[in-house]
Chains A and B, each alone.
Chain A
């Protein structure tokens, strides 16, 4: 195989392939341990801490960062911002892969993963927030799959099927917005049941609203970040339209992210006020809370605004990284750091290295799938047969 490599083609043994290969091998080994030895063999989970980083990172962060799909398609198809059209397919692809990997990660985290469909067939469970999350994620993954399928259908030359899918665009977009609004907020609502376990600075009756708004911030920032990476690594795959619209997307999404971050900052202050939690700000947890609120909410809002005002694309791109780190920090705080805050340190949760290994493995699978699709299917360019079809 490798002897056939022509001088013009890149070697199979690139840095990415070597690193990804090592991570996949280690990930498969941990997967074997997990499914033969159970959760105890590879995790530090306990009755006190049943949700570790497989929920805190893979699920909560994964779902939030996959929000670019509904944010972008809503902006383009519902609000008519056609100038951002070239961002739709990459965003839908990122969203689809994100949700698919969230479901994959759940198979590791749920003790008996073959029971994942139980909420739908064994009991009604319609009063459960978790049921609502399960239903919405399952339905939204299906919606994303259909939305994304237009690209592989174009690639495979199945015109009739592709045209049917494209006709469904508006319906799918509306469904996507409804389902995302429901489950993004419901993920926050899961914590409403634990007011005594979650630190008062993070616990709030508004937590579903916080989760929903931060998903919009994550979606907008992820589109900017992903567009930057695509330009760096797949520039040769981009057509003229994508290259032209790239800067407009960064400026437009940066402006939206800045405004939403400012709004989020304000309602976080309202949350502090309505819970009368000001006195907690003097504690160690208060300092950490201020780091999150000022360093990862107020600061990116301000930097995005500056970037948009002076049209600095570099500043906007780096700010998107800061905003994404802020979302990750927020989910970690809610799910791990400020959760069970009253427990002594000996009872607190810290992830086993194999839990981190599985999370890295899953992210790597996402990167491999993204690269495979982007290098083959019309994601960053219009298929020649369907130019001006939008």
Chain B
């Protein structure tokens, strides 16, 4: 490297750490905290061997293998085995995501916005930026590994020993490294930060899917996925180190490829062709509704698919509910005790309310997009055309209402479609759909409040996310914390009947719908009266 290719690398590393002095500690802290909280929660949830073995039994099914990986240590399902079996893969996916986002932010995003050009005009080597980002991220991953290991050991849980904790931590760290390196390669290939993140996340999902298919079909295919490798560490059970070295080695190899590609390309260029778009608008993009849909299409499709999947995966475990709950006292407190109904039947409304609250998030996002469009100065384009404020806001409200139908329908379909196949009880798919759709009026009340805020206090639309979080806590943990009844009535979701234990109360649904309509009308009035803020 005699020609100063890497000059200034240490200074750039310091600069990256300085720029992310809040971001990095927050990421690290969240990972360590989540791992520790889960491990600690397991000790509370499963207090003896019998309870843990009951859990192990529910893990012996293909859906679980596909989701969290092949079972190991199921015959002696200690807290440690439980933690690494149920949490390692999911945590590794999020660690991978963090690495992808951070890498793109400091490479392609800086390059795209011209910041890298300023750096490169200084006496700094051509490879210095990429190298410094990779070194910082490798350091972050190593730190994550060590912090996770030490914090888990500090919990002083019998089965969570030192070696297992370090294997667990470094399995996460090496997974992070490999996805940082994968993103580094895509940052050279693609010409935009969106492309870099998009391709890298696709690679992450592919790694997950290849592993899922591999684990279901005997394991060979899993060896083609870095996520498959790290699961072979079997932390707290067998503590294999070779997958960690393999993963870290792959990360170094990919990093070298990225550095090579970086050295042979021009600043601002990529290797993949830039796709051009349509020169003309399609027929659908001809009115405010078409625009509202087009802007959010990708996100909404992802939410719809996500809710369908969540519904289906909840559905797949409905059959094991009885055995799962039999031995675990704490879990039984989560659901309302009602004689004459099976545990499965009593658990369905809990799942449904969780999915309904989750499904209300895209409904709110669809309408609160108005606020983002306003602050970015793009509402002005629409309102300076022959479009009234009612028509503009109406388009977003209509989209949100349609989203509520589709999302709730898909959640019910997923839960019922898979659930009816695996349960002993005689429950029809129609019942699941009815139970899901009963939540639509509650979602509309949330929508109404969002529009009210948009109309009268646009600065406070963020309140909706707090309200959603509050609703979730009250509804989901209501049974556990023994909240009084009136607390549940503070959220519209608390008024919905618990199908199939209770019957749908159409009077309540009509009242909620009417309340939503009134909120919407008042919101529209405010929106018509107020100024559109300046960008």
Are A and B a genuine interacting pair, yes or no? no
Residues of A within 8 A of B (CB): none
